[in-house]
Structure 1
Amino acid sequence: MTALAIETETASAADTAPASRCVITTDASYAARLAHDGASPASWFPERWTLDGPEPYAVPLPGNQPEEPGTDVLPLADGRVLIRRRADGRHLFSLLYPTGPGTGEVPLGAVECGGAAELTLLPPAPDGRRAYALAVGAESTDVWLVAGGSFGPEHVAEVPGRCSGGVWLDRAGRLLAVDRAAPGGGPVKTVAVDLERGGEVSPLLQITEESDDRLLLADLDSGLILVRSDAVKPGELRLGWGVLGSTLPLRFPQGLRLADCALTPFAVQPGQTLLPESCAVAFRIDGPEGGAPWLGVWRPTEGTMHQLAAPVGWLAGSGFWSKDGVLSLPYVTDDVSCGLARVSAPEPPAPREPAQSAPGAPAAPRPVPLGQAPLGGRKAGG
């Protein structure tokens, strides 16, 4: 199940609140967030949600002292939660797990980022056992395996340029897509990093030489990808879609444009093998005046973005689809400490919308290098 992508450019001020962040495992068995007990402004603690039972339930994982608001958490498929804390320029990693009334903690070690380097956790790896982080420096970006290795954090790759984002391209957790600004400046392009070949970098998404091209989501069942680019009109970032391994151009339909609103895709319906145009995609929608975001649901076969009210207390930008088209949205209210609101995707209409292609896209390289495309080279329909 594709859930939760990193997209920093369109994040609103509400995203800076730790309680609004919720990270979900690829198989949607667990989630983790930094919760608040309401006692004082400093009372933050990790919380694990179990999602694969009849009803979701939360387990608090408090440490010996409250956590800082900027602390990151990430769930693993075995139920443990990775936590990243900062201390004196170092990033300390541990695994947390419930032990009766208390919290067990396994220290994993630290990553020291010199100078102005930044470190961010990548989305959960597809196997659910490992966790990775990007350490962004002035001229290059280091990829670290911070959980699931043989001993402590392990440096696995150095990528020239400043990288952001992070989308997994295969179920083995070998190919990682990152958005890279090349050393010395220039447009942002998505590249694929092969973590089993010393961080070998291959071109992934380049619509035109001058355009900024970023990969936002990739579904490994259908091959559907969501991108953001200014290739159609320089200086104007637009959302588009395509298919992994396809030689047909990316498309930038009007249905992925809402006036004065920021759209961020966060989940793709899984299980639609060889049917990318039938996948339902969930979007977070932020309005021009701020306030609470709401929900969008769209399919490539449709010309309409269905706009729906989000549940009260939605942990905005997080959720996951079932194979039969039911979207689960985690939420927290004063009365519900761990809830999942379920929304069925609207039925797709028969007609489909003409799409606008990016200039130069027919000559674009295959979206996955090294012959690793899940769909092998299947052409996108329509």
Structure 2
Amino acid sequence: MTACAIEPPSTEGADGVPGAGCVITADGAYAARLARDGDSWFPERWTLDGPEPYAVPLPGNQPEEPGTEVQPMGDGRVLIHRLVAGRHAFALLYPTGPGTGELPLGAVECPEPGTRLFLLPPAPGGVRAYALAVGPRSSVVWLVAGGAFGPERLAEVPGRCSGGVWLDRAGRMLALDRELGGRTKTVVVDLERAEVSPLLQIADGSDDRLLLADPDSGLLLISSDAPCPGQERLGWGVLGSTLPVRFPECLRVRECAVTPFAIQPGQALMPENCAVGLRIDGTFGTWVGTWRPAERRVRHLPAPEGWLAGAGVWTRDGVLRLPYATETTPCGVSDLTAPAGPARDGVPPDVRGPAGPARDGGSDRVSEAGRPAAEAGPSVPEAGPPVPEAGPSASEAGPSASEAGPSASEAGASVPESGARGPESRGPGTEAGAPTRAEPGPPVRAEPGPPVRVVTRPVPLQQAPLGRLVTN
């Protein structure tokens, strides 16, 4: 059977987020998608961890319906989700010489009207697979592959849930975006204990969603309208950090949709150095962006011809692997390495028209809930000069100011500096290692100014129940 290079019939995920052209395992070894032969759709498995990528067609006794879900498992088999007579049936497909073997796993019934069921992203390890059934009032997490007795009901979450991000390498902690009471907030489900607890709440009146997470570094990619009510913004934070979520201006590409799809693994304790792959959809096509929090710039790169848009995986060495399919190359992988030099502004020439998409500046500013930091209002004069306090050593303080966050002028408020105190900073009468306080200067009278509007401060991610799992 010859596979043509055509994308799956549905490329839009939950909540209007663009879906990927194929699904890749957490370790990047296998991928699966629906391929097309004429008017017929069939599952196809890709092997990505060998010397050369290759595809294995897995057609059944009859063509699959458009929109049928497939997901690769860690052992190379492919999980398929079909809707049969109102029931959600699951089976594992595997090659058997010229044909396709099929192992039925059972079915899930959703009797409540309006309930939809879809597969969650591949779990770490590749041994188990999960699905989410979303009803009018609650959502249920199901184990559909890897259990002992067919599909198992694991946990019920009040409200309508979407998304799905794994927070640990064990596949136990699952983050879901829950809509409840007119607002969307991210919660975490402990699949072992069937417990639900809040994870992300930037402001009381904001819609906050978790898009991606890296268990090694703790880097989180977040979508929220806290900086600009009614307008979704991309931000980043670190699980376990005391710093608020940042919303870089460089992640705003005018008249384009920016969707993160992959984070570089293996960067323990260095979230600001993790590379992030971005899918950028604009008037003039779809291309690839790469970004690191420390760079504060997006590098715009042309996508390979036939890219299965939104699909890709980073290696630990910083190579972005993008699967693609064309008529001449039905199974291919393009390896992209972001340039080491200064980031380039603008979009690639081959995807930019006469008036290509314009980009905002690349500043990385901390935003308070409700408005950007640049609009947070004037700073309030202090009653006296700031008094330096003893702070952590450089190794404990984390990234430098240029990497970890904006300066005080960018944040819209004056911030006293802090740093390590060495023996040379001690004054007379101080003990070894004790901090030295600066002599207070004459008091400065604060000039009356316009009233400053009080806004809700973002909730630090360290207050999340999973903050202890990742060290910042």
Question: What TM-score comes out, normalization by structure 1 length?
Answer: 0.90
| Secondary structure in structure 2 of the residue aligned to 1:231 | coil
For residue 10 of structure 1, report the CA deviation from its aligned partner: 4.7
1:308 alignment counterpart: 301
For residue 270 of structure 1, report the CA deviation from its aligned partner: 1.0
Kindly report which structure 2 residues correspond to 1:64-143, keeping only aligned pairs within 5 A, or say none.
Answer: 64-114=61-111, 115-143=113-141
2:29 alignment counterpart: 29
Count residues in correspondence.
Answer: 356
1:193 alignment counterpart: 189
Kindly report which structure 2 residues correspond to 1:10-49, keeping only aligned pairs within 5 A, or say none.
Answer: 10-11=16-17, 21-37=21-37, 39=38, 41=39, 43-49=40-46
For residue 349 of structure 1, report the CA deviation from its aligned partner: 4.6
- 2:154 corresponds, among 153, 156, 159, to 156
1:265 alignment counterpart: 260
C-alpha distance in 1, partners of 2:267/2:76?
A: 27
C-alpha distance in 1, partners of 2:341/2:24?
A: 27
1:176 alignment counterpart: 174
| Secondary structure in structure 1 of the residue aligned to 2:462 | coil
C-alpha distance in 2, partners of 1:297/1:97?
A: 35
The structure where strand makes up a greater share of residues is 1
1:248 alignment counterpart: 243
For residue 373 of structure 1, report the CA deviation from its aligned partner: 2.1
Query: For residues 75-106 of structure 1, what are the alpha-carbon distances to aligned partners after superposition, in whole Å with 9 as ceiling and x for unaligned?
Result: 00100100000112211000000111111100
For residue 361 of structure 1, report the CA deviation from its aligned partner: 4.4
2:49 alignment counterpart: 52
Does the 8 Å CA contact 2:79/2:92 hold for their aligned counterparts? Answer: yes
For residue 11 of structure 1, report the CA deviation from its aligned partner: 3.5
Query: For residues 141-167 of structure 1, what are the alpha-carbon distances to aligned partners after superposition, in whole Å with 9 as ceiling and x for unaligned?
Result: 010000000111000010000000000
Does the 8 Å CA contact 1:219/1:268 hold for their aligned counterparts? Answer: yes
Query: What one-letter code is carried by the residue in structure 2 that aligns with 1:197?
Result: R
Query: What one-letter code is carried by the residue in structure 2 that aligns with 1:34?
Result: L
Does the 8 Å CA contact 1:90/1:110 hold for their aligned counterparts? Answer: yes
Query: For residues 215-267 of structure 1, what are the alpha-carbon distances to aligned partners after superposition, in whole Å with 9 as ceiling and x for unaligned?
Result: 00001111111000000111111000010111210000111110011000000
| Secondary structure in structure 1 of the residue aligned to 2:227 | strand
Larger Rg, first or second structure (1 or 2): 2
Mind listing any 5+ residue stretches in structure 2 that lack a counterpart? 1-11, 344-361, 370-455
C-alpha distance in 2, partners of 1:7/1:325?
A: 27
**Percent identity among equivalent residues?**
65
C-alpha distance in 2, partners of 1:361/1:52?
A: 45
Does the 8 Å CA contact 1:265/1:283 hold for their aligned counterparts? Answer: yes
Query: What one-letter code is carried by the residue in structure 2 that aligns with 1:112?
Result: E
| Secondary structure in structure 1 of the residue aligned to 2:55 | strand
2:367 alignment counterpart: 357
Does the 8 Å CA contact 1:48/1:59 hold for their aligned counterparts? Answer: yes
Does the 8 Å CA contact 2:164/2:174 hold for their aligned counterparts? Answer: yes
C-alpha distance in 2, partners of 1:100/1:358?
A: 59
For residue 307 of structure 1, report the CA deviation from its aligned partner: 1.1
